[in-house]
Amino acid sequence: MANRKILFAVDLQKDFIDGTLTVPGAASVLPVIDSVKGRFDLVYFTLDWHPVNHCSFREQGGPWPVHCVHHTAGASLPDSVLAGLEEERMRFILKGRRPEREEYGALVDVTAENQDLFQPGDEVVICGIASEYCVFESLKNLYALSQAVGFSVKVFLEGTAKFENYDAICAFMAENDIPVWKAE
């Protein structure tokens, strides 16, 4: 399938929506994302998938409360996020699995040579939770990979929740001529 449209949905997990690390406005981006996901050939979901002793947790000296512990309800996606998507159109990308390593970006160790997610000519649209951390770092990963593989990247800001602002992600977009994707 040439020139695929891929929605890259970052961390739409219950702990970020109304759980232990709630991001303001996260619940409001779900219906926005749900309304457009059917326009894409593929939907890739990233998931924080932390062990109980992850370095990002306050109990381990990190900045965050315990969140998205693998195999817990807080790490799961709401039913609405998956509703209406055929299994063959979905991929799940786990991150933050090593207890000693923080991974805000979903594609930290992914290179053009070791990946099967993207092809030349693909259009990848990123959205999710939260703008300042995992969406921003995943965008940086995606952009670097797009330069090596030959696909385009856009940001669906309307489908992206933030703690405080979009400043960092918008500055990166401007510096690298990454356009905003609109749900029109």
Give per-10-residue mean pLDDT for the chain (184 aa). 89 98 96 96 98 96 97 96 95 96 94 95 98 97 97 97 97 98 88
What pLDDT sits at residue 65? 97
* Torsion sign (Cα): 26, 108, 60, 169: negative
Catalytic annotation, pick one of 26, 127, 130, 161 = 130
Are 151 and 31 in contact by the 8 Å Cβ rule? The answer is no
What pLDDT sits at residue 184? 76
Superfamily of domain 5-175: Isochorismatase-like (3.40.50.850)
56 is catalytic: yes
Catalytic annotation, pick one of 37, 95, 154, 162 = 95
What pLDDT sits at residue 18? 96
Are 42 and 79 in contact by the 8 Å Cβ rule? The answer is no
- Written as six digits, the tokens of 178 are 């990454």
What pLDDT sits at residue 55? 97
What pLDDT sits at residue 153? 98
Cα-atom radius of gyration of the chain, to the nearest Å?
15
What pLDDT sits at residue 103? 94
Catalytic annotation, pick one of 14, 67, 154, 162 = 67
59 is catalytic: no
Catalytic annotation, pick one of 26, 106, 127, 134 = 134
Cα 69 to Cα 124: distance, rounded to the nearest angstrom: 28
Cα angle 116-153-1, degrees, rounded to a multiple of 5: 45
48 is catalytic: yes
130 is catalytic: yes
What pLDDT sits at residue 158? 96
The predicted model scores a pTM of 0.96
Are 53 and 98 in contact by the 8 Å Cβ rule? The answer is no
